[in-house]
Every structure is written in structure tokens, then in C-alpha cells.
Amino acid sequence: MAHPSERRRTFAIISHPDAGKTTLTERLLLYGGAIHAAGAVKSRKSKRAAVSDWMALEKQRGISVTSSVLQFEHGGARWNLLDTPGHNDFSEDTYRTLTAADCAIMVLDAARGVEPQTRKLFHVCRMRGTPIVTFVNKLDRPARDPFDLMSEVEDVLGVHTVPFTWPIGSGDRFQGVYNRRQALVARFKRTEAGNAKRVEMKVGGIDDPRLDEWLGDAPAETLRGEIELLDGAGEAWDRARFLSGELTPVFFGSALTSFGVEPFLTAFERLCPPPGPRDAGGTTVAPEDDRFSAFVFKVQANMDPSHRDRVAFARVCSGRFEPGMRVHHARLGKELRLNRAEQFFAQERQGVEEAWAGDIIGLYDPGLFRIGDTLSTGGALHFDAVPRFSPEHFGRLQLLDPLKRKQLQKGIHQLAEEGTVQLFAEPGREKDPICGVVGQLQFDVLTFRIEHEYGAKITFDRLPYQHARWVEGADTCDDLLARYIPMAVTDVDGAPVALFRDQWELDRAVRDNPSWTFHETAPIRATE
């Protein structure tokens, strides 16, 4: 019998802001049978907000500001969909989430092509060797020439492209897609149900005499000419090159109108790989190993505001999880009992009786877990650390109501453990922590969540620093200040951190202190 991990498929969806990533997520859930109408969880059709955007701030602003987990069964497989923020200000959450994915869907705007955030996220996937499937979205609007789009992907991202589907027109003239693998034209029919339901389509061969009647003489002739060019001069499909991240299959469609989504999902079911082996400090961990292992890639507080709970999201890498099992916590260096775990559909959850490699489980967290923690049976095991990036914006936190100090301390420390913010302390001013974030919008998220989830109102005094560096070789903040570092603080582990206003100050410090090493990411420190 096949190992249970071979039924698992774990993937993330990445894109530049406003490329239609969350809309595509809804359509995949619709066609996968996980929801009955786009924007509504099964049996809860009155809730029309995006399924994956569960946080109040996300629903207000219409953007994703935190990753969410959506798990469902389809086509004989267990799917774990990781929906990530598209906005650059929340990219650190996306980077961490990608460490848990075995495959990624890259969504491109058909009119804009490859955008800055697309490049950043693609390179994160490339560094990890994550296979990427490309979906060119928004064909219901005027779009660039598909040949130009593919050339841009190859030139800018350095990855070869193989179109699996091909668009028939764009904007008002978008009629459907040609499925190159099946040699079939799928012409979509607009219905009164709108985009909330599955769209109907007519299917026929490219040489079908009815094609000219369906599409019109000119569109049919254009399609035949483009397909002939692709078949004669296009890149050949090679699954091994796809799995190594060298080649990406490309699909065209419109998530808003659901045109092209069904052929995409059908092909993606075959393309998305099952879990593979992972490196753990020189030890290769295979998904079918009996030894249980997992790592925490996300911590989320207050998913259920009425219970003020904390959930640690863990990616299972090998073995079988069962409630009540005892595991070794690598950072703390001690054994823990995992009494309770849950699986998720955005904010909704249900208990887990077992989980296998590839699954995402939510562990009840009494404050023991941090991002990057490794859990395993059979002794200590350390997976590659989930990186904590250098913040680019800093602000000293100011509490507006001194009577809410206790609520503030609880809230800010919980959000720091989530990875929403990095906390630093200046010697002598520990009561007014300095918050470091990758994007400025994270300050708005912090202000909103501290007020609405913990009942404390805050503001930030912005600081003029752009870079943080963890300094190996310096023991205290005084050591840093003695070498003319502009500002010295400590992180949550007490490690000295140097803050710099610009690149010139950083370069000078590196040049003047050759015996020190300046790290852009925080070192992982074990707790005795």
C-alpha cells in the first residue's frame, strides 16, 4: 500500500499585490468542492468575505495581511493550501510560509507581467528549489501578448516556460483557453449565476469544423497559427526540470470569471508533487520515515477572539502524529506532550486524530513555541531555521493609557512570537520597547490588533533607522557604543543588535570592526 504521505499535497500561492491571488484561491476551493460558492464557506453562504481573509482588518481593507491555512480533500488527495499575503509590507510572513510548501503557484497579472514582489518571492522559491506553476490571471481585461509575457518570465526570472493552456483573446474578446496537453478547446459560456458558481464550457478539438462557428473565423485562425508556432518552436515539457525549479508550466485564465480555472486545477492535481525529503543539519529526513518530525513556521494569536488562544502552525515532515504523543523540543532541550492538534479551513477548525508528512497541524501553544522550532521523536533534530529577517522600519512604542500596561505587555510579546513584529530594548528604557518591522503597514496592523484584541491603545514614535545587524563578537550594548555604533539595543534573547540609519553607516561599521561579524538574520539560540 502507498504511504499516507503520498496522498498529501502542500502548496502556497504567491503574487504581487492585486494580481488576483486571493480570488484564485477562492476559485480553486470552489472547483475543488471545498466551498459551494466563491466567498462562502460550505454551509455558511451568508458570510461573503473571502474565505482565506479571516482577520477583521483584512476584511476591512480587502487585502491579506497574514498567511492562512486551508485544508480540503479532492481527487483522492489531501490538500494543504497556504494562502500568503501579497503586499510587500507583509513579505516576511510569506517567506516563512514558503518553507512549509512543496510547490508554489505564481499568479501574474496579464497586463502587468512580472512585478517587483513577484521577483522577490520567486527568488525565495528558487533558493529552496521549490517547483513553481504559473497562472496568468485577469484575461477578462485587456492583456499583453502571451508570447511577450512568456518571454518576460524567462528573461526576468531566468526560468523556462511551457504553456499548458493558451488564451483565446483577452478583455471583452476572451472566449476560453486551448488545452495543449489534451488538444482541446474549452470555450466558456457566461451564465446568470455570475462568478460565484462553476462556469459552463463547450469542448472540441482545434480542427473541429464547429470551432470557426464558436469563436469566429478570425479568432479561430489566430489560435491555430499560435498553436502551430508553439508546437514547432516551444520548449519541451520535462517534469524533472520542473521539480528542480528550472521550468514552469504556464496557464492562462480569469479567476474573477472562473474562466480557465477548471483546466488549471485538473492539471495542477498531477503537477503538484507529494512531500519530499528534507535536510536536518546533515541528516536527511524522508517523509516515509517512522520517526515523527515537524517544524513550526507560524504562530498565530487570537484566531478565536472569544478564547484568546495561541496556535502554532507546524509542518509535518515525517512519521505519524497522534494526540498525546511525546516529542523532543530542540530549542528548549526537553520533552513535551502534544495533547491537542487541529486542522484548519481559514478560521474554522476541527480536531486531528492523525497527521502525516505534508500535513499542516495547529498545536495549542501555552507560550512554548517560536517560529523555527523543531519537534521530533527519538531525540533532538534540527531542521534548517526559518529565517528572521532584518527589519527596515523602527518605532518606539508609546502606550496612550498607562493603566493598560499589563494588556500591552501581553499583546506585544504574543505578536512578537507570531513574527508580526521584532522587539528590541534600549538599555535604561526597557518599558518603551522598540518595534522593528519589514513593511510600514505592519505598524498599522500592530496598532489595530493591540487595540481590538488586547484593549490597549498605542502609537509609535518613528526612528530614523533602516538596518539591524546582529553582531557576533560583541557581548553587550556598551561594546557596540564604544565603537561608535549609532544605536545599540538587545533582542528578545538579550543578544546585542546594532541599528544603522543608512547603508553608509553600516558599511563604515563593518570596515572599522573587522573582528566582528554583522548578521542580517538573527542567529538561532538554544535554551538550556
Domains of the chain: 4-271 (3.40.50.300), 278-376 (2.40.30.10), 393-519 (3.30.70.3280)
Q: In what order do the strands lie in the sheet with 165-168?
A: 165-168, 176-179, 184-189, 200-205
Q: Which pLDDT score, from 0 to 100, does residue 68 have?
A: 66
Type and span of the H or E element at 403: none
Non-local (6+) Cβ contacts of 202 within 8 A are 186, 187, 189, 214
Q: Which pLDDT score, from 0 to 100, does residue 92 have?
A: 67
Per-residue confidence in pLDDT tens, the chain, 528 aa: 588 999 999 999 888 878 888 888 888 888 777 654 444 333 333 334 444 444 555 455 444 444 467 888 888 888 888 876 644 545 567 777 888 999 999 999 999 999 887 887 787 788 778 999 999 999 999 999 999 999 999 999 999 999 999 999 999 888 889 999 888 888 877 655 455 555 566 677 787 777 888 888 898 899 999 999 998 888 899 999 999 999 999 999 999 888 888 889 889 999 999 999 998 888 899 999 999 999 998 887 766 655 567 888 899 999 999 999 999 999 899 999 998 888 866 557 788 889 999 999 989 888 888 888 999 998 888 887 666 667 889 999 999 999 999 999 988 988 887 777 889 999 999 888 999 987 788 888 889 889 988 899 999 999 999 999 999 999 999 999 999 999 999 998 889 999 999 999 999 999 999 999 998 877 554 433
pTM above 0.85, yes or no: no
Q: In what order do the strands lie in the sheet with 393-399?
A: 422-424, 434-437, 393-399, 458-463
Phi, psi of 224, deg, nearest 5: -60, -40
Q: Which pLDDT score, from 0 to 100, does residue 477 have?
A: 94
Q: What is the pLDDT of residues 501-515, one digit of tens each?
A: 999 999 999 999 999
143 touches 133 (CB < 8 A): no
Strand partners, 69: 82
Q: How far apart are the first and last CA of the chain?
A: 43
CA distance 280 to 384: 6
Judging by beta carbons within 10 Å of its beta carbon (0-12, 13-18, 19+), is residue 189 exposed, middle or buried? exposed
Non-local (6+) Cβ contacts of 488 within 8 A are 426, 427, 477, 478, 480, 481, 496, 497, 498, 499
Q: What angle do CA 395, 396, 400 make, to 5 degrees?
A: 120
Phi, psi of 31, deg, nearest 5: -75, -25
Q: Which pLDDT score, from 0 to 100, does residue 73 have?
A: 83
Q: Which pLDDT score, from 0 to 100, does residue 524 have?
A: 52
DSSP 19: S
CA distance 309 to 300: 8
CA distance 423 to 436: 6
- Cell numbers 512519521: residue: 319
With the C-alpha atoms ordered 317, 320, 321, 325, is the resulting torsion angle positive or negative?
negative
Strand partners, 202: 187
Q: What is the pLDDT of residues 140-167, one digit of tens each?
A: 999 999 999 999 999 999 999 999 999 9
Q: Which three cell numbers stand for residue 436?
A: 522593528
